[in-house]
Amino acid sequence: MKIRFTPEQEAFRAGCASWLQQQMEGPFADIRGIMSQTFRADRRLEWERVLGQARWSVIGWPEKYGGRDASLAEQVIFAEEYARSGAPGRVGHLGTELAGPTILHFGNDLQRERFLLPIAKGEEFWCQGYSEPNAGSDLSNVRTRARLEHGPNGPEWVIDGQKIWTSLAQFADWCFVVCRTEEGTKGPAGISYLLVPMKQKGVTVKPIRQITGDAEFNEVFFDGVRTKAEYCVGKPGEGWKVAMGTLAFERGVSTLAQQMTFRNELERIVEAAKSNGAASDPLIRQRMAEAWVGLRIMRYSALRMLSRATTGSLGGEALTYKLHWASWRKKLGELAMDVAGAPGELCVGEGYELADLPYLYLFSRADTIYGGTNQIQRSIVAERALGLPKEARGDR
């Protein structure tokens, strides 16, 4: 496990940190430190384009696709400095961190040429069509269906079904959709991975208001929606492998940026505790220390995971990572609310506008649910990492 950086890498750190600081203290100071995923969306989309123009959006990608051919260490450094600068969460992250790497690794030349540069330049944005009302943590239970037809523009997939908890679908130009393309199949068999344009007749997006007041998630309905036959990543009916590869990329370099965001949140809690006197409580101090220790363990675990990572596969470290960080952050949210005290129960502006610590508390309640519940994560660790007998299921 590599935890130190060379002088050349530290020079790279200084360069990207300087650029980020200039942007966050200059033209984009108005979106610095934003926690909400949807606030100031127009400015956030503009920020994505600036990142792309400067080739900071996907630095690990090949130069021909808008990247910098950056090493893994350089990607880690940039991810850390991005979060350290207070830059906002990436509105384009589902393209840069999930769709793009999946197309780069599993796609063909036609798909790479069509999709990668627009993602890198911040010209096209993506959402993830995985979860359904009856297929959340059990993704292989998807019921959205697609059939191949010959249309006026050649062979096309026609998609019918519903997705839910689709983050940032209201801003997306494209969606990578996991759907069933072979009648009579169950479980992972007969599933395909399609790239579907969102700006077309038959696509309906309905925002879901969350307890934070935000509407990051959406329901998405597909009613006779079409996409080209050539926009199937991998072979038809073999999309499960591709879908699992996407989840592997989710445990990639962005985990270090995520941890820097967690560190920023912990620092806000510490500052608030010092300001309002909560830090005088020895139990609060102990919980803040435990949070700091947990964050350091998380970092070393992620570095170990990345030091073994290639592409498209999940090792034992990656299988435990989501369970670890989600449980840790849920406790952090509880600590934030205890530090905020009674004033944290009040809104801070017109309408339903929350201060940072109450927002963190409410949002973190979902961490152990989305992306696979803690219960499902434990089953995954048991079956895939420890080799224990598989849980009994009706389709096995």
360 Cβ contact partners less than 8 Å away, ≥ 6 residues apart: 35, 265, 268, 332, 333, 336
- CATH number of the domain at 357, please: 1.20.140.10
- In this prediction, residues 316-335 reach a mean pLDDT of 89
Q: How many helices (H) and strands (E) does the chain have?
A: 12, 7
At residue 328 the predicted structure's pLDDT band, cuts being 50, 70 and 90, is very high
For residues 41 and 91, the answer to whether their CB atoms sit within 8 Å is yes
Residue 117 is assigned to a structural domain of this protein: no
Rounded to whole angstroms, the Cα distance separating 141 from 187 reads 6
Known catalytic residue at 149: no
pLDDT value of position 100 = 97
Bigger pLDDT: 337 vs 137? 337
Same domain for 301 and 357, yes or no, is yes
Same domain for 131 and 66, yes or no, is no
Residue 379 is assigned to a structural domain of this protein: yes
Out of 359-363, 375-379, 388-392, the most confident range is 359-363
pLDDT value of position 309 = 54
pLDDT value of position 318 = 74
pLDDT value of position 394 = 59
pLDDT, tens digit (0-9, with 9 covering 90-100), for 62-98:
999 999 999 988 988 998 899 889 999 889 999 999 9
Same domain for 229 and 278, yes or no, is no
pLDDT value of position 311 = 45
Q: Domain count of the chain?
A: 3
pLDDT value of position 312 = 46
Same domain for 77 and 12, yes or no, is yes
- Confidence check: pLDDT of 323 > 50: yes
Q: Residue 212: what are its φ and ψ, rounded to 5°?
A: -80, -10
Residue 197 is assigned to a structural domain of this protein: yes
Cα torsion for 210, 381, 317, 260, to the nearest 10°?
20
The maximal CA–CA distance of the chain, rounded, in angstroms, is: 71
- Residue 284, classed as helix, strand or coil, is helix
- Confidence check: pLDDT of 202 > 90: yes
- The pLDDT > 70 percentage for the chain reads 94
Element (H, E) at 151: strand 145-151
Q: Look over the chain and give the mean of its residue pLDDT values, rounded to a whole number.
A: 90
Residue 98 is assigned to a structural domain of this protein: no
β-pairing, 217-228 with 154-163? Answer: antiparallel
Q: What is the pTM of this model?
A: 0.87
Rounded to whole angstroms, the Cα distance separating 37 from 275 reads 27
Same domain for 226 and 259, yes or no, is no
pLDDT value of position 310 = 47
Same domain for 26 and 130, yes or no, is no
Same domain for 299 and 375, yes or no, is yes
pLDDT value of position 365 = 93
- CATH number of the domain at 161, please: 2.40.110.10
Domain of 326 in residue numbering reads as 251-385
Q: Which two tokens stand for residue 217?
A: 């998630």
Bigger pLDDT: 3 vs 342? 342
- Confidence check: pLDDT of 308 > 70: no
Selection from 166, 154, 232 nearest residue 198 by Cα: 166
Catalytic residue, candidates 74, 81, 250, 317:
250
For residues 203 and 222, the answer to whether their CB atoms sit within 8 Å is yes
Residue 119 is assigned to a structural domain of this protein: no
Residue 394 is assigned to a structural domain of this protein: no
Same domain for 260 and 195, yes or no, is no
pLDDT value of position 373 = 85
- Confidence check: pLDDT of 345 > 60: yes
Out of 56-60, 74-78, 316-320, the most confident range is 56-60
Same domain for 259 and 365, yes or no, is yes
Bigger pLDDT: 318 vs 41? 41
**Sign (positive or negative) of CA dihedral 80, 84, 89, 90:** negative
Same domain for 137 and 176, yes or no, is yes
The last residue of one of the domains, among 65, 91, 117, is: 91
- Confidence check: pLDDT of 117 > 70: yes
The last residue of one of the domains, among 194, 210, 237, is: 237
- Confidence check: pLDDT of 334 > 90: yes
pLDDT value of position 252 = 66
Same domain for 83 and 177, yes or no, is no
- Any idea which of 147-156, 266-275, 287-296 has the lowest mean pLDDT? 147-156
Same domain for 229 and 305, yes or no, is no
Residue 118 is assigned to a structural domain of this protein: no
The last residue of one of the domains, among 237, 264, 299, is: 237
- CATH number of the domain at 44, please: 1.10.540.10
Residue 24 is assigned to a structural domain of this protein: yes
Beta bridge partners of 223: 160
At residue 2 the predicted structure's pLDDT band, cuts being 50, 70 and 90, is low
